Amino acid sequence: MSDANIPSNLKYTSDHEWARIEGNKAVVGITFHAQQTLGDVVYVELPAVGRKVSRGEAFGTVESVKAVSELFSPLSGTITKVNDELTAEPETLNTEPYGDGWIIEIEFSDSKELAELLDAAAYAKLLQNS
């Protein structure tokens, strides 16, 4: 697994989501590994803006031709943005998982939870051991 597939500026969950922390907000998506495992993404079910989520709670769904996979929130807080463009172009999750394939933005409510997230090295180790 090359470093480019696990950017060092992001935080990760063991469910293969990533979070980019920007002040009191986090932009959230799924990792390169997650999209590769899913295969061709053909549908993304997004939550409503304003919805409150808890850490680990399912907030949406990604479907490939073959499989359905739930999305789990890496942090507790309020969803402030969703990437509506994924509805029309779900394949962006495959081509740009860390860029245009971002899924939601959360204003997180408990910064202590940040310590629970994995850094790139810990996530890389998790993938090696899986």
DSSP 47: P
CA–CA distance, 72 with 59 (Å, rounded to integer): 6
Note whether 68 binds other proteins by CB under 8 A: yes
What is the CA angle 58-35-22, rounded to 5?
Answer: 65
Find the binder of other proteins among 9, 24, 39, 121 (CB under 8 A).
Answer: 39
Three-class SS state of 25: strand
- When the beta carbons of 44 and 104 are compared against other proteins, the nearer one is 44
Residue 84: burial class (beta carbons within 10 Å; 0-12, 13-18, 19+): exposed
Residues 89-128 that bind other proteins (CB under 8 A): none
Note whether 65 binds other proteins by CB under 8 A: yes
Q: Which stretch binds other proteins (CB under 8 A): 49-57, 61-69, 100-108, 117-125?
A: 61-69
- When the beta carbons of 39 and 122 are compared against other proteins, the nearer one is 39
Footprint of other proteins (CB under 8 A): 39-40, 42-43, 45, 61, 63-66, 68, 87
